[in-house]
Structure formats: C-alpha cells, structure tokens
Amino acid sequence: MGIQTIFKGEVMRQQSKRHISKSTRAASAVGRPVESTPSRRQFLKQSGRLLAGSVVTGVALPRIYAAQDHTIRLALVGCGGRGTGAVADALSAKGGPVKLYAMADLFEPRLQSSLSNLKKDFADKLDVPPERRFIGFDAYKKAIDCLSPGDVVLLTTHAAFRPMHFEYAVRKGVNVFAEKSFATDAPSVRRWLKAAEASEQKKLKVGVGFMWRHSAARQETIRRIHDGAIGDVHTLRIYRVHGPVHCPTLLKDVNELAFQLQHPNSFTWVSSGFFIDWHCHNIDVACWAKGAWPVSAQGFGGRCYEQAGNQFDHYTVEYTFADGTKLLAFTRGMNNCWNTYSDYAHGSKGSAVLMATLGEPKPKIYKGHNMVPENLIWEFGRPDPNPYRVEWQLLLDAIRQDKPHNEARRAGEAEVAALMGRMATHTGQFLTRDQVLKSDFQFVRDIDGMTFETPAPIHAEPGSFYPAPQPGITKEV
C-alpha cells in the first residue's frame, strides 16, 4: 500500500495541469557550451530562444524513426506517478505512432500499478510483455537495451539515480526524456553535465521535465520582460508553500534502504530534498526571466516537525546574480499555514506576475510594484496550452524531423543553482557557484553498485525519526 501511495501528491499535481487544452505553441532550447559565468546574451541564446532549432538551413537531413514501421518506442525507467503521467503525455502526442515497449522499477508492485493505470486509456499503445518488465537496481540497463536509436527512454526515478541512468542512455545512443530533479550533490551534477556534453556530441534529442519552459503564457511574459516591459530586473520572488509530505517512523525489521527509497521526498540523498525536487521549476523560471544563473547563495531554514524526514520543512534562500540583483526563494511544507504557489519579477519600471497559481499561471505586467487593477498594463488573458503535452510534442517532432532539441545542459545549470541554495541552507554557509561545482561531498560513494544489501546512507533507530541538518555542523560541501 505504501509503495502505491508514495506519489499520490505528484500525480495530483500533474493531473491538475493535464486538463488544460493541448495546443502546442512553445519553444525548444538547444544546449550549448557556456562559460562558468555566462553573459546575459549567452544565457538568452541558450535558454530562451523561441522556436530554436525548428529549421536547419543549408543542410538536408534524413528523417529518423525508431523502427521500420515509424513507431517510436518508449522505455519507462521509474514507474511512479511522474513516470506514468509522462508516458500518458507521450502516448497522447500527434504525428505518428508511439508505443510503450519496456518498463523498469525497483519495486514490482509499482510497475504493475503503473501498467494497470496506463491500460485504462492506452491499451492499444502498450507492448510490454512480461519479458520486457524488469525489476531491480540494474533494471534500467535491461529496459534501455530493448531500444534502438530513435527511441526514447523516460528517466523518471528520483534524482539519486538520474545521472547514472542518463549516462548509460547516452552511451547507448538513445534519446532521453528526464524528469526533474537531476542530481543530489556536486559530484552527481558534474556527472550529469558531462553526460549532457556527450549527448550534444552524439546529437541526441533530450527533453527534461521543466515543462514551464514550454508554457506559452510564461514564454510571452518573459519575452516582454526581456524586451524591457518592466525595465531592468532587480528582484525576483518565488514561493512554493503548501502542505507537507510526512515521513512515517521506521518500523522494526524493515529494510532501511528500501524504506528510504519508498519515501523519497523525505530523504535528501534520494530526491535531493523537497527544496530542490519541488522548487526547482520556480528557480529555473526565475533565472530564465532574469537571463542569468545566480553566482552565490545564503539561506535560512529549520525543521518544526520531525515527520519532515532528514531535511528542513521550511527554507528561505537569497540568491545573488553577477550584477548584484537578487532572487528570493521561499518554500515550506506545513499544514494550517498560508499557502501560495506563485512567482514574481520586479524591475526598474514595473513588475510582473510570472505565475499566479499552479493550476493556471495567469501572468500579468504592471506599472510600478503595487499589483492592483489600475496599474495593470498587460495580461496573457487566455488559457495556457498544457506544457506537459507540449514538451512531448516538441521532443517527438524533433526525433521524427531530426531537428536539434537538447535541454540537458540547461537542466544541469538549473540544478547547480538549486543545489547551491539547499547546500547553503543546510550548512549555514555563504556559497558561490564555483564552490558548489568544485565540491567533493557525496551522499553515496558508489550509487552504481547499490543493492538492497547496501547499508542505508542515513540511519534511525526503529520507532524514531531521522535527524535534521544542523547549520554550522552539517557538511554538504
């Protein structure tokens, strides 16, 4: 029962967006090498270019399909709510046949639950006989090995395993869709970035779970901001404050490693922690609006409720960009508190709502900083096409038409920013981007060799809660 309910909150989150219309007006970003402190112009070229790669001029490229019947085959690695929802989006895309061909997970009940749920709406698009259903820590290799060039593997486990799985897929020459988040510590994000570079060299198509980059409402708002609608951006505020996902106490005679893997958002080593795993979307959008990645961070946080697992249940992070301007990130997971899920930008001439609610962004631009009706100068004013569906349509179109489409490097840069905030808060230190990138701190030294016999990276006595970080003592750098 616990395995099947772990991802309930994430499934509800994704379903809330999938009811929006399926129009595909959006942009794809092509990853390019960047300097350690990229300029605004370089950042905008890499991250915000509309319809990038839609036309390749001067070169006649063949259409590439996964198989002779033009079917693109999918392998799902990680069969929780995110993975199941991503498959549903892929199978709903237009333009040609798509089939789920292989599945992999650590836990048999989770794989069976995913398959059962997908059969309700997509039975004719599932081709996953028992011999292509794989269980265990090496299951990802077996699922990826079922694919051919032109197919897509969905990497939707939690972040502890993402760089390792991505690296293997790139080595095999398979296209990738990778859910956020992408790494848990500095060595693993460096591993992701190295695989991202290799994926670019192989000209693989890589989509990532930052679906808001493909939100027409956000694209139009940020285009206007970059065109000067609110002047020079000097402050950004992002909020994700809502109820918690509580970790139960460890029971006697339970495999502690399996317990932590079954409650991923409560353990930093598994999911990177809820500040990153839940808030990285907002961080990415704020940096997109600014046109830069932050260069330093400091933060405050704490744990009021032991049920939060081995992390804090509230975080406040102050990021600083190279020009001295600020991004303020707020996240909290508690009951009976003020809730919002929203993003804002402030500039020298006005301000903007980047997202009003999770269900519908409803962006607006105001003169001045009082966001009242009489100061409104622009609003998107129409439903936002479903970005979950748009991101898949773009990826599959890029495969069929052999258009450049690789978001891996940009995802890694956003992960560095998110890690910087969490690491600064847990340690109580002021951290720079370079410190994060050079850190050798690692939660798990040999993630590639993990089995259910491997000791859990963190321990608690049966019936007790896990210890929280202690700023000034905790090491994550």
Structure tokens at 229: 């609608």
Q: Residue 10: what are its φ and ψ, rounded to 5°?
A: -70, -40
Q: For CATH 3.30.360.10, list the domain ranges present in the chain.
A: 217-384+418-449
Q: Residue 109: what are its φ and ψ, rounded to 5°?
A: -60, -35
C-alpha 246/C-alpha 458 separation (Å) is 17
pLDDT at 68: 55
CB 324 within 8 A of CB 294: no
* Helix (H/G/I), strand (E/B), else coil: 290: helix
pTM: 0.86
CB atoms within 10 A of CB 464: 10
C-alpha 252/C-alpha 385 separation (Å) is 48
User: What DSSP letter does each residue of 159-221 carry, written as one string?
Assistant: GGGHHHHHHHHHHHT-EEEE-S---SSHHHHHHHHHHHHHHHHTT--EEES-GGGG-HHHHHH
Structure tokens at 7: 């991802």
Structure tokens at 39: 């300029």
pLDDT at 64: 45
129 dihedral zone (left: phi>0; alpha: psi -120 to 50; beta): beta
C-alpha 362/C-alpha 382 separation (Å) is 8
C-alpha 166/C-alpha 155 separation (Å) is 7
Q: For CATH 3.40.50.720, list the domain ranges present in the chain.
A: 2-213+388-406
Domain 2-213+388-406 -> CATH class: alpha beta
> What would the pLDDT profile of 391-449 be if each residue is shown by its tens digit?
999 999 999 999 999 999 999 999 999 999 999 999 999 999 999 999 999 999 999 99
Residues of the chain with pLDDT under 70: 1-69
| H or E, element range at 352 | strand 350-355
C-alpha 452/C-alpha 466 separation (Å) is 20
C-alpha 369/C-alpha 378 separation (Å) is 14
CB atoms within 10 A of CB 41: 9
C-alpha 320/C-alpha 289 separation (Å) is 14
pLDDT at 104: 98
**Exposure string for 142-176, b = 16+ CB within 10 A, e = fewer:** bbbebbeebbbbbbbbbbbbbbbbbbbbbebebbb
> What would the pLDDT profile of 265-291 be if each residue is shown by its tens digit?
999 999 999 999 999 999 999 999 999
User: What's the CATH number for 217-384+418-449?
Assistant: 3.30.360.10
